[in-house]
Structure 1
């Protein structure tokens, strides 16, 4: 009897720390362990406590009220098998210790062809983390919120992708994290229909090529999207708005090459588009509306083409910082819309004379970036006008074919011009026929 009692006592002791996560998990872990590869686990609308490792190709489907509650020590869900699908549930409670060997997340993926759909992730360090072998993942319809801490730097990103590619990130909503989406060495991705607000950078993107970003919204962040050291990207039909602060921007291109920025809306940013050490990019069909500066272009960026962009009521439409640069502000006889008075006597939609746009703001920014604090001040407008009149060494943007908006009726300035021409014609006729 004594031996039997001792055996029962040993069985009741806590599991040794060296045992696998599979035996330490909660109820969902036991369901995963007993499931056959290729099967589907359907969860009830309640909480499932404990961390889970998914090590076989299965689908796990929740419903309204399904919650995977981690124990705040590790990843809530760790996926190490290919072709896993996880959908329709809330995932909470990852570890938050930044000194661990791997940064922890609500869902951590290290296997290919994983689908994460309609998840709600909160109270995690990173929302979703993909790296290594996690290629060809689909993350769709997920809602990710940050930790609501005082410092954004004290928490992780909404979605982090490192050294893996061919992903699809579709129609996700991210707010309150450090960066909304962070990419490093991740190529051939499609990022479409995502909405990112109240983060440091909506998109933080480094050393990644051949990706497409379409129909995303980056609003109310310190920076909308930061593209760094990357090549052959397309950013089309995105919105960059209300990204405000002394160093804020809608989109920054830095140290990159061959970036295509087309048909995007830059509204009410401190800087709409910031370009530095970037070459051979196309900036076309974008709208820059009520930004502090529409485009800030540093002279170390060359061989850009700017065409058919619409500049409307920015404090400064475009500034060149660091002196002249070799960029082209028109292509094949088509320039940009500058919203400035111009003559178009032949009514072909192109001004009759080139536009030379000068700004002293670039020189001021080069000397002290705190100038942005006063970008909306009437004093800055006076400073600009004074320098345009009297300074002769300002960097100049030359658009040989500035475009005029066609509204279906002639601009107001053509009415007095027409009257003047008619009067002159009448006087000339009277003199010839006294």
Structure 2
């Protein structure tokens, strides 16, 4: 019996010794500063062991194409600057479990044949890039074939002037389970670009003043977009060739131009667009070939067109939305089969409510004759808000001929929808 206990004690002692020895190994911190023994981030990463931390002191480091091929953590103290001086990438990450935090990264090379980025990843998992400042860059974060990552609280500022010489702030390709949280992106080509990305979350970001799209994604299914602000982008937001999309509490505003939208939907199916605000856009939502979408409790305020359906849009539901002072609430091209409008508030509705249940007793037809005319002859838009338009809209309201009988809200709300979600 004593031998058994002695053996157990030996085993426990050995395990404790190994545990503390391993902890000492993974707790190693390598300091980088101009006056330290290690004066470059590249050198620190090269000598680091898996699990080490590289602590970069406040200074400016002229470095580029720093290869990370092992799990390490790189932390900046007071946002030290790594300046690529117009040469290639800054970090190229090829290992799992890499964290880069608290750095200022600038002057990535601009190229017409290569997508140089401040931080580039390929085929990695479990990465965290947070609290970084990216300035004067080509691409910000370029994430390829990577999974289970977090991009959080980064500031990305470019100086995009032309599309061919500018890149995207956050660019994901063939990736999944990525969280893009609380970032600010401005003056890039596209603020956030996703292609073949699934099961990811885009939340709390501000994307503004970008040359093309604040958000642009294609072939990306089962993703969530919440609490983002997309403002003053050249073409607004474009969502294409995707399904199972959930968009909530986003703000789309001040996206003006002949080819600019708050939200462009191109062949989107089975989506929920809930509780968003579309304000002062040329077109709030422009839907083309998009089916089985629920638009619920959104607010459309002071847009040119609130919602424009271009065709092949079936099985959609517009429920309890607020349409407030838009030039045109609904526009459509082609058939609107199977679409439901119910309990929306329309600021132009002039019906009555005799039983005081806050539901209008007279159905509302949101498509005006002038909207139909503009679809046929776009140049007539110059007549907007003229007396002539008021007369033809009133005549169509009294005796509908051109506007569809099956496109009406049978239960228009008498007061704006208040959303407590």
Match of 1:131 among 126, 135, 144: 144
Aligned partners of 1:358 and 1:388 also within 8 Å: no
Structure 1 residue 361, shift from structure 2 partner: 4.3
Does 1:43 find its partner at 2:50? no
Residue 387 of structure 1 and its aligned partner are, at CA, apart by: 4.9
Shift of 1:382: 3.3
Q: Distance in 1 between matches of 2:217 and 2:226?
A: 15
Q: Does 1:204 align with 2:212?
A: no
Task: Tell me, yes or no, if structure 1 residue 242 matches structure 2 residue 251.
Answer: no
In the superposition, the TM-score normalised over structure 2's length comes to 0.84
Structure 1 or 2, whichever has the larger Rg, is 1
Aligned residues between the structures: 371
Give per-residue Cα distances to partners, 1:277-297, cap 9 Å, x unaligned. Answer: 011010000000110111111
1:51-79 Cα shifts (integer Å, max 9, x gaps)? 11111100000022401111423111111
Please give the per-residue CA displacement for 1:364-419, whole angstroms capped at 9, x wherever unaligned.
444455666x48x433x733641551572234531111111179xxxxxxxxxxxx
Distance 1:371 1:77, change over 3 A: farther
CA contact (8 A) 1:321 1:365 kept: no
Partner of 2:365: 356
Distance 1:153 1:203 in 2: 18
Higher strand share: 2
8 Å Cα contact 1:57-1:81 kept in structure 2? yes
Measure the CA separation in 2 of the matches of 1:116 and 1:304. 38
Pairing 1:18-417 to 2, within 5 Å after superposition: 27-51=40-64, 52-100=66-114, 103-110=115-122, 111-132=124-145, 134-149=146-161, 151-199=162-210, 200-330=212-342, 335-339=343-347, 340-367=349-376, 369=378, 374=382, 377-379=384-386, 382-383=388-389, 385-387=391-393, 389=395, 392-395=401-404, 397-405=407-415
Asked whether the equivalents of residues 195 and 220 of structure 2 are also in contact (C-alpha less than 8 Å), the reply is yes
> Take 2:183 and 2:336, find their aligned partners in 1: how far apart are those partners?
41
Q: Give the 3-state SS of the residue equivalent to 2:361 in structure 1.
A: coil
What is the CA distance between 1:323 and its match in structure 2?
4.6
Segment of structure 1 superposing worse, 106-115 or 163-172: 106-115
Deviating runs (4+, > 6 A) in structure 1? Answer: none
Long gaps (5+) in structure 1 = 1-25, 408-434
Once the two structures are TM-superposed, the CA of residue 324 in structure 1 deviates from its matched residue by 4.2
Contact 1:190–1:213, Cα closer than 8 Å, also in 2 = yes
Partners of 2:369 and 2:402 within 8 A in 1:
no
CA contact (8 A) 1:47 1:65 kept: no
Instruction: Please give the secondary structure, in 1, of the residue aligned with 2:365.
Output: strand
How far did residue 210 of structure 1 move? 0.5
Unaligned runs of 5+ in 2: 1-38
Q: CA RMSD in A?
A: 1.9
TM-score (norm 1): 0.81
